[in-house]
């Protein structure tokens, strides 16, 4: 099966080619050295990645509450249960709404910041650092600042203070799902945290655009600004944009920290991982149902990452860089 991969997927030279110098004994053999180098990682990978995946598939077919060695086989019962559970399907809807908000806004903001910073002549490093600084914050720390101060529902929260200047009454940003102001809190927090990171990617890509393209465009009479942006910058950034969007989707899919902390004790706005957390580790400790949920989520994310892998060329070997 693997012998059909003639695309130079793995780097090492063909096995027939002996190493630089014919070696003596076991310690010199490349097979021995291959395993010497890779086995610590591979053993860990099997124990902590492959075994859990396999175990969760196994558990998902059993009735397993408070136990991880169940004996009560229920077939697809857990899957039926979780797929008809409105909380679980609702969490997929929550993820979709979240992704629809956060992916385009982060893309636009990080690209916008990169364009601004890229054009600066003075204090460029300073501004880059400022936009990048939130990356040092954890999602928990940001959640705390957002929940306890900026979007605190009482009068001394910053948002309510500012709105109060215009005579607007206090808003319960997080404690009330209608109207769903909590989305504003969640989206701004993540926007603040991750935009600087993606800005760095866009900056690197912007600097890779050949200067000649702009000079040529100027000669052809293209107006600076919107025209060159539309016909040169944006097309040149296509690969980075695609990568960023896919990364953003995968990151949104795994969102947990800010939802868990900002919306603790509430029943609304639970994305998939938070829902899974309460299913498997909450009151019920329903490992069977939780595992079924994990398998479903894994299959869904596999679709996205497979697509991502195809576009970004993961594993294409040497020429992918």
Partner 1 sequence: MTTTTTTPEAGKPRRTRRGGGVMSSSGLYLATGLAAVLFLVPFYILIRNAFSTDPEITGENWKFFPTHIQWGNITEPFRDVTVDFGQSMVNSLIVAVLHTAGTLFVCSLAGYGLARIPYRHANKVFYGVLFTLMVPTAVTFVPSFVLVSSLGWVDSYRGLIIPGLFTGFTCFLFRQYFLGFPKELEEAARVDGLGYWGAYWRVVVPNSLNFFAAIATITFINGWNSFLWPLVIGQDPSAWTVQVALSSYMTNQTVNYHLIFMATAISILPLLFVFLFLQRWLVQGIAQTGIKG
Per-residue x/- track, 157-196, partner 1 (CB under 8 A): -x--x------------------------------x---x
User: With respect to partner 1, which residue has the nearer C-beta, 74 or 193?
Assistant: 193
d(CA 294, CA 280): 10
Please choose, out of 74-82, 90-98, 176-184, 222-230, the segment that lies near partner 1 by the rule CB under 8 A.
Answer: 222-230
User: With respect to partner 1, which residue has the nearer C-beta, 48 or 179?
Assistant: 48
Determine how many CB atoms are found less than 10 A away from the CB of residue 258: 23
Number of residues that bind partner 1 (CB under 8 A): 131
User: With respect to partner 1, which residue has the nearer C-beta, 22 or 179?
Assistant: 22
d(CA 284, CA 262): 23
Q: Cβ contacts of residue 156 below 8 Å, gap of 6+?
A: none
Q: Would you call 267 helix, strand, or coil by DSSP? A: coil
User: With respect to partner 1, which residue has the nearer C-beta, 38 or 179?
Assistant: 38
One residue of 127, 176, 187, 266 binding partner 1 per CB under 8 A: 127
Q: Does 210 bind partner 1 (CB under 8 A)?
A: yes
Residues 247 to 276 in contact with partner 1, rule: CB under 8 A: 247, 250-251, 253-254, 256-257, 260-261, 264-265, 273, 276
Please choose, out of 73-81, 84-92, 97-105, 114-122, the segment that lies near partner 1 by the rule CB under 8 A.
Answer: 114-122
Please choose, out of 73-81, 88-96, 178-186, 301-309, the segment that lies near partner 1 by the rule CB under 8 A.
Answer: 301-309
Task: Output the smallest distance, CB 130 to partner 1, in A.
Answer: 5
Residues 133 to 152 in contact with partner 1, rule: CB under 8 A: 133-150
One residue of 168, 175, 234, 306 binding partner 1 per CB under 8 A: 306
Q: Does 297 bind partner 1 (CB under 8 A)?
A: yes
One residue of 83, 89, 96, 156 binding partner 1 per CB under 8 A: 156
Q: Nearest-CA neighbor of 243 among 111, 92, 101?
A: 111
Task: Output the smallest distance, CB 179 to partner 1, in A.
Answer: 23
Buried b (16+ CB within 10 A) or exposed e, 171-210: bebbeeeeeebbbbbbbbbbbbbbbbbbbbbbbebbeeee
d(CA 214, CA 134): 33
Angstrom CA distances, 155 to 37, 221, 263, stand at 60, 55, 19
Task: Output the smallest distance, CB 266 to partner 1, in A.
Answer: 12
User: With respect to partner 1, which residue has the nearer C-beta, 74 or 294?
Assistant: 294
Task: Output the smallest distance, CB 177 to partner 1, in A.
Answer: 19
Angstrom CA distances, 42 to 25, 54, 109, 298, 302, stand at 24, 16, 40, 21, 21
Residues 73 to 112 in contact with partner 1, rule: CB under 8 A: none
For the chain, how long is the longest CA-to-CA vector? Answer: 85
Q: What is the 3-state secondary structure (H, E, C) of 124-189?
A: HHHHHHHHHHHHHCCHHHHHHHHHHHHCCCCCCCHHHHHHHHCCCCCCCCCCCCCCCCHHHHHHHH
Task: Output the smallest distance, CB 211 to partner 1, in A.
Answer: 8
- Tokens in use for 159? 């948002």
């Amino acid at each position: 099966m693997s012998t059909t991969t003639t695309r130079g997927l793995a780097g090492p030279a063909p096995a027939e080619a002996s190493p630089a110098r014919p070696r003596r004994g076991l310690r010199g053999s490349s097979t021995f050295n291959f395993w010497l180098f890779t086995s610590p990682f591979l053993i860990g990978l099997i124990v902590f990645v492959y075994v859990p995946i396999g175990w969760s598939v196994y558990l998902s077919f059993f009735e397993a509450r408070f136990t991880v060695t169940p004996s009560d086989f229920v077939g697809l019962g857990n899957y039926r249960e979780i797929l008809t559970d409105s909380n679980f399907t609702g969490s997929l809807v929550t993820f979709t709404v979240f992704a629809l908000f956060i992916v385009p806004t982060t893309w636009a903001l990080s690209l916008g910041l990169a364009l601004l910073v890229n054009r600066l002549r003075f204090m460029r490093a300073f501004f880059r650092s400022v936009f990048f600084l939130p990356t040092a914050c954890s999602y928990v720390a940001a959640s705390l600042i957002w929940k306890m101060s900026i979007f605190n529902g009482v009068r001394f929260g910053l948002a309510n203070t500012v709105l109060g200047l215009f005579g607007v009454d206090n808003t319960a940003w997080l404690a009330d799902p209608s109207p769903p102001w909590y989305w504003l809190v969640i989206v701004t927090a993540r926007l603040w945290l991750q935009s600087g990171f993606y800005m760095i990617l866009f900056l690197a890509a912007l600097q890779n655009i050949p200067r000649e393209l702009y000079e040529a465009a100027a000669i052809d009479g293209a107006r600076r600004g919107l025209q060159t942006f539309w016909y040169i910058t944006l097309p040149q950034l296509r690969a980075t944009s695609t990568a960023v969007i896919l990364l953003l989707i995968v990151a949104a899919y795994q969102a947990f920290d800010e939802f868990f902390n900002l919306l603790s004790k509430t029943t609304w706005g639970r994305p998939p991982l938070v829902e899974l957390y309460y299913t498997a580790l909450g009151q019920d400790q329903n490992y069977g149902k939780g595992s079924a949920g994990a398998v479903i989520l894994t299959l869904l994310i596999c679709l996205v990452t497979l697509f991502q892998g195809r576009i970004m060329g993961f594993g294409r070997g040497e020429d992918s860089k």
